Chain A
Amino acid sequence: MTRSVIELPVSDADRRIARLAALAIGLTLAEAALPSPVPGVKPGLANIVILLVLLQHGWRTAAWVSGLRVLAGGLLLGSLFAPGFWLSSAGALVSLTVLALARHLPSRHFGPVSLSVLAAFGHIGGQLALVGVWLLPGSALITLLPVFATAALVFGTVNGLIVTRMLAAPAPDGRQSAPCTLP
C-alpha cells in the first residue's frame, strides 16, 4: 500500500490572511462578551481589521479575512449555521460588496471614515434585510430601524477614526505617517 501524501503549499499570502483573520476573530470574541441593549447593536471591532486589510492588502484579502472571521467566529461562539451566523454572513457579504464599490471613491476626499460608515450601514442593512425576509417577515421591525441606523453611524465613525489614526500612527522609529504594522 502506498501512502499518498497531499501537500498543500502555503504561501506567504495565506499566512498573512490567517494571521489577520485570527486578529479579527479575537476581536469578534471579545465583543461577544460585551453586553448589548438590543441584539445587533455592536461596535463591530473586527471591521477595523477588515478595513485596515482592505486599505493595505486589497479587497480579495479583506474578503478572505472577513469570511474566515464569520466562519470561525460562528464555530467558537457555537452559533455555526444558527440564525446569528447567517445574519453575520449576510452583514459581512453586503458590507464587502459596499466596500468593493466604495474603495473606488477618490481617496483624496474620502478617507477610512467614509468606508467605515458605508460598511457599517451595509452590515446592518444586510442583516435587517435577512431578518425581514426570513426570520421575522411582516413584523414591526420598522420601529427599531432608527436604533440600528444610529448605531451604524456612531460605531462606523468611531471605527473609521481608529483606522485613520492607526494608518497615521508614527512608526516605532518616530517617523510620521508610516504604514501601520499589522502582524
Chain B
Amino acid sequence: MSLLRAGDAAVLFAGAALVVALTLYAWGGSRGDTAVIRAAGRVVETTSLARARLFSVNGPLGTTQIEIQPGRARIARDPSPRQLCVKQGWLTQSGQAALCLPNQVSLEIRGRTPAYDTLGY
C-alpha cells in the first residue's frame, strides 16, 4: 500500500491552497490596521482596527458616528445632506478614506505600508 493515494494528494493540494489563500487574506500588505479620524483637518483620533469601537465626532452640522470593527471601519451616521461618506460603506484597505465634507469629518485607513505618499482632494 502506498503512503499517498491520488485523493490524498488532492486533499493536500487543497489544504495548501487554503493556507496560501488565508495567508494572502490575513497578511496581504494592503489591508489597513489603523483608522485616523479627523475633524476640521485636525486628527482627533488614531485607533487600531483590532477591536470593535464606536466614536462620535462633532462637526458644524452635528455628530458623525464612526464604527470600527476588526479589520474595517465606516461612517455609521452623519448629518450630511447627501450621505456620500455613509454610502461608501466599510473601508478595509490601506489608503481608503471616507470624507464627510459638509460636517468636516474624515476617516482614513492606514496600513504598515502606505499605499500613497500623499492624497489631494
Which A residues are within 8 Å of any B CB, using their own CB?
105-106, 108-111, 113-114, 117-118, 121, 138-146, 149-150, 152-153, 156-157, 160-161, 164-165, 167-168, 177
Contact = CB atoms under 8 A, between A and B. Distances in A.
- The winner among B12, B15, B23 for most chain A CB atoms within 10 A is B15
Contact of B19 (A140, A144, A146): A146
Contacts of A138: 51-52, 69-70
Contacts of B6: 109
A2 to B, nearest CB: 59
Contacts of B23: 146
B11 A118 contact: yes
Nearest to A161: B3
Interface string B73-116: 00000000000000000000000000000000000000000000
B8 A110 contact: yes
Interface residues of B, number: 25
Given A106-B7, A138-B69, 14 more contacts: A109-B7, A110-B8, A111-B1, A111-B4, A111-B7, A114-B8, A121-B15, A139-B51, A140-B50, A146-B23, A146-B26, A152-B15, A157-B12, A160-B8
A177 B1 CA distance: 8
A143 B12 contact: no
Contacts of B11: 110, 113-114, 117-118
B6 to A, nearest CB: 5
Contacts of A149: 15, 18-19, 22
B16 interface: yes
Contacts of A113: 3-5, 8, 11-12
- The winner among B6, B11, B26, B69 for most chain A CB atoms within 10 A is B11
A158 to B, nearest CB: 12
B70 A142 contact: yes
B12 A142 contact: no
